[in-house]
Structure 1
Amino acid sequence: MKSSKTKNYFLTAIIYAAVFAIYNLLVFLIFNNYNNIFWISYGFMTASLIANIIIILIASKKTDVEAAFFGIPLISFSVFHVIAEFFASIVFMIFRANASVKLTIFIQAILFLILVIFGALAVISRDAVQTVSDTVKQNAFQIKSLAVDVELLESDCMDAELKTQLHKTREAIQYSDPMTNESVAQLDEMIKGKVSELKYFCQSNNKAEALQTCFRLQAFVKERNAKLMISK
């Protein structure tokens, strides 16, 4: 999926480069009498294509999250923008003898600024969401790792009572909220520490302490989930 999205971005960038070459052939073969309106329109179209290629290449970074803004994929908006700027520049070139310099600059500058702002916000939003996604993945892995540690203790345990509590502890950890924040940072460390203690007590056949550690771990996980629920 990631490689497919990256490929699409690079193909789009290559297509834009080809479009720029074709655009140059068309405007310089069709038009003559290159006045200020012509060069202003040509400059904005050139800047638009270069900006789009740069934005597309930046957005091609391999991530789980697609660059988008208000649900519109950046690559789709980029295509719409190129079409809009192409149309605007051609129209101004056709009517270059009567068009206003101020109007030419104003309309195409607005189109260009929309592209820059949209592109920047889309990439920033993508990176922010990706950071959250990476954090969730990392925390989910850590939780899964702790749950596996308790599961191994459960499978080796021969005492029925302790085995039951180890099973409850393992489920509590496994199905706990993978999110985290500052309000539960201390609890996260305490849970990790208690799992290490639980390993020691089980391996040294200290049933009483192992049971108490199971109860504490279940309480810590419950408290952690409650605090996360409040903070959302």
Structure 2
Amino acid sequence: MNISKNKGLSLVIVFIILAVYNIIAFMLPFNHGRMFWTGYFFSMVAILLTAGVGFYAFRREVLRSKVYGCTLLSLVWCYLIAQLIIGVLEMILSDVPFQYGIVLNTILFGACTIGLIATDIAKVEIERIDLKVKEKIFHNKSLQTDIENLITKAPDEITKKMLKNLAESIRYSDPMSSPQLAAIENKIESKVAGLTDAIAIYDSSIIKSSCDELQQLIAERNGKCKTMK
């Protein structure tokens, strides 16, 4: 398994924290009672969780994933620092009933876990939407390219101007899509195919009507996109 530089550094930092914390825990004269082991156990859980989140956060190279990965790391590191401090205090305050330590540490762990899950759910959903937008942008770009290719085949300047205007309309059309727009998007694709055939045989009346209808369909689609937002 390949380990990236960020993963390697995260692992080194976690091992350093693990070593230093264990030295503090077992070299200082703490009373190794139930409260000590409560603080020690939850501190070890926090360290291991930080290591796991570090590996998970750096598993993708997509910029948006990196941004959410940093959010996950920020959250888990805040939890780690808080838990280590609380863990040391629990080792010192060994006379306090250990049940209080369990409750406090469990609440802190639960809050961190919920935050991590909520952040990851948000990341997955954002990535899903982003993928749909990229797919739709590619679709619109493909249509725009098809129209621009037709410009070079246009027999006169009037036709070229109509095609340039049509390409601009597609270029600046709303990139978002949904199942409710499938029918009108299919019509647009069909009209583009018909326009291609009309230019091939140079039927000026069909070329003009196809361009006009495509402009209307694109405007209609953009209007429906606005109503769905």
- Is TM (by shorter chain) over 0.5? yes
Partner of 2:63, secondary structure, is coil
The one-letter amino acid paired with 2:32 is Y
Would the alpha carbon gap of residues 122 and 11 (structure 1) be closer, same or farther in structure 2, given more than 3 Å must change? farther
Within the candidate set 222, 226, 229, 1:229 is matched to: 226
Partner of 1:136, secondary structure, is helix
- Could you tell me which residue of structure 2 aligns to residue 64 of structure 1? 63
- Could you tell me which residue of structure 2 aligns to residue 159 of structure 1? 156
Instruction: Please give the residue correspondences for 1:145-224 in structure 2 after superposition, counting only pairs within 5 Å.
Output: 145-224=142-221
Instruction: Please give the residue correspondences for 1:132-151 in structure 2 after superposition, counting only pairs within 5 Å.
Output: 132-151=129-148
Instruction: Please give the residue correspondences for 1:30-45 in structure 2 after superposition, counting only pairs within 5 Å.
Output: 30-45=28-43
Within the candidate set 75, 78, 89, 2:76 is matched to: 78
Once the two structures are TM-superposed, the CA of residue 7 in structure 1 deviates from its matched residue by 4.9
CA contact (8 A) 2:30 2:92 kept: no
- Could you tell me which residue of structure 2 aligns to residue 100 of structure 1? 97
Q: Distance in 1 between matches of 2:11 and 2:107?
A: 22
* Range 121-130 or range 207-216, more displaced: 207-216
The one-letter amino acid paired with 2:26 is F
CA contact (8 A) 1:85 1:108 kept: yes
1:179-232 deviation per Cα after TM superposition (whole angstroms, max 9, x unaligned): 111221222222222222222221222222222211111111101100000111
CA contact (8 A) 1:9 1:75 kept: no
Percent of matched pairs sharing the same residue: 26
Would the alpha carbon gap of residues 7 and 73 (structure 1) be closer, same or farther in structure 2, given more than 3 Å must change? farther
Would the alpha carbon gap of residues 17 and 121 (structure 1) be closer, same or farther in structure 2, given more than 3 Å must change? farther
Q: Distance in 2 between matches of 1:46 and 1:26?
A: 13
Once the two structures are TM-superposed, the CA of residue 31 in structure 1 deviates from its matched residue by 3.7
- TM-score, normalised by the number of residues in structure 1: 0.89
- TM-score, normalised by the number of residues in structure 2: 0.90
Q: Does 1:125 align with 2:122?
A: yes
CA contact (8 A) 1:81 1:111 kept: yes
Once the two structures are TM-superposed, the CA of residue 146 in structure 1 deviates from its matched residue by 0.8
- Could you tell me which residue of structure 2 aligns to residue 3 of structure 1? none
> What residue ranges of structure 1 are gaps of 5+ in the alignment?
1-5
- Could you tell me which residue of structure 1 aligns to residue 10 of structure 2? 12
Instruction: List 4+ stretches of structure 1 deviating above 6 A.
Output: none
CA contact (8 A) 1:10 1:60 kept: no
Q: Distance in 1 between matches of 2:201 and 2:172?
A: 28
